[in-house]
Copies of this chain bind each other. A is one copy, B any other.
Amino acid sequence: MSDSLTFRLLRYIKAAAETLNFTRAAEQVFVAQSSLSSQIGKFEDTVELLLFARLQNGLKLTSAGRIVASFAENTLKEWDQTLAMALAVQRNEVPPLRLGFSSFINAKLLERFRENYEGMFPGCAIQLWSGDPLLCLQRLDARALDCAIIPLPVDATLYNVQQIAQSPLVVCMRSDDVLADRAQLDIHEVAERITIFRDPELHPSAHTRLVEMFKEVGIPIHLACAARTPSEIQWMVKERYGLALIDQLTPLDPGLITRPIAGVNWTADTAFVHASHMDHVALPFIERFFQQTWSASRRSKRPSKTRHPEQLELLG
């Protein structure tokens, strides 16, 4: 049963597991040694679980104790976060979530995120900060943003990165292009016509990766036009400056079409990113939310190979 368990007791267990010394653990939680001792003892009796082996040379965590202690630590941490968030929500003191995003991510992702955030924390504002990925990361560093949704790759040693979407890259062309009647294209036949790219300085590491991807298929990248927004890219395509690689899910201007590329499996990956300081009260929740929904969406939709990002759902 879940009774006979107190959060106070969890703190006792945590302290005892850390110090392996009831006396010092008792000091740490500001009670008499006998209290802590007897509480843990009584708990062990009632659930018939030996957490600590009392040996001649001191205490030792049993295997069961390790399991329970890690539960204790976890739960206490989560409760702190929960209480902080609940208080902030109640007092209407949740700071606006300053969310950076690149214009190259799928707008539906943002929409979904907004809905879910609103559902979880009604009345809590989101401040949207458009900006290219590099700028987003710099702002995260400067604590001018709490988190961001941007295309991968992102250096995961410097930020907390969580992939939240993936969709194929396709070739964007005019609907009167000579290749328009082809259902799909070979990368070799279109590669040299792909000349429109995101401005490399908007996301240097993504561009580097793109260069690598082209190198892997044995084609040097030919950057002739650098665009700073998806609509600029489409405009350039329409104006016959060349072809472009875009996320399959990008809404298309009239007069443009996309064609998949046979023989490659290039994808546009999107991630939720935040700095490790975890400034915003809601971040732990958002993080858990994405962890769960991300695996949940895989779970509910894997049979068909292409994963669509609009699969995020609110989880209880």
Residues of A within 8 A of B (CB): 2-8, 10-11, 47-50, 62-65, 67-68, 70-71, 73, 75-76, 78-80, 82-83, 85-87, 89-90, 120-123, 152-157, 160-163, 184, 186-188, 205, 209, 212, 216-218, 260, 262-267, 291-292, 295, 298-303, 305, 316
Q: How far is the CA of A63 from the CA of B88 in the complex (A)?
A: 10
Name A8's contact: one of B3, B154, B298 (CB within 8 Å): B3
Complex interface: chain B residues within 8 A of A301 (CB): 156
Q: Kindly identify which residue among B3, B152, B302 contacts A161, using a CB–CB cutoff of 8 Å.
A: B302
B264, B298, B316: the one contacting A162 at CB < 8 Å is B298
**Known contacts A263-B187, A265-B265, A162 near B79 by CB under 8 Å:** no
Asked if residues B122 and A157 are in contact (CB atoms below 8 Å), the reply is: no
What residues of chain B lie closer than 8 Å to A157, measured between beta carbons? 300, 303
Cβ–Cβ contact A67 & B89, under 8 A:
yes
Contact present for A90 and B64 (CB under 8 Å): yes
Chain B residues with Cβ below 8 Å from A82 are: 67-68, 71
Most buried by B among A2, A62, A70, A120: A2
Cα–Cα, bound, A187→B291 (Å): 35
From the candidates B71, B87, B295, B303, name the one contacting A155 in the complex (CB within 8 A): B303
A154 CA to B153 CA, complexed, in Å: 27
Residue in B closest to A87 when the chains form the complex, CB atoms? B49
Nearest first, the 5 closest Cβ-Cβ pairs linking A and B are A265-B265, A156-B302, A64-B86, A217-B263, A64-B90
A48 engages B156 (CB within 8 Å): no
A209 to chain B, nearest CB (A): 6
| Contact B262 A265, beta carbon cutoff 8 Å | no
Q: How far is the CA of A186 from the CA of B186 in the complex (A)?
A: 12
Q: Contact: B87 with A302, CB < 8 Å?
A: no
Q: Is the CB of A154 within 8 A of B263?
A: no
Per a CB cutoff under 8 Å, which of B11, B63, B292 touches A122? B63
When distances are taken between beta carbons in the complex, the residues of chain B under 8 Å from A152 are 302
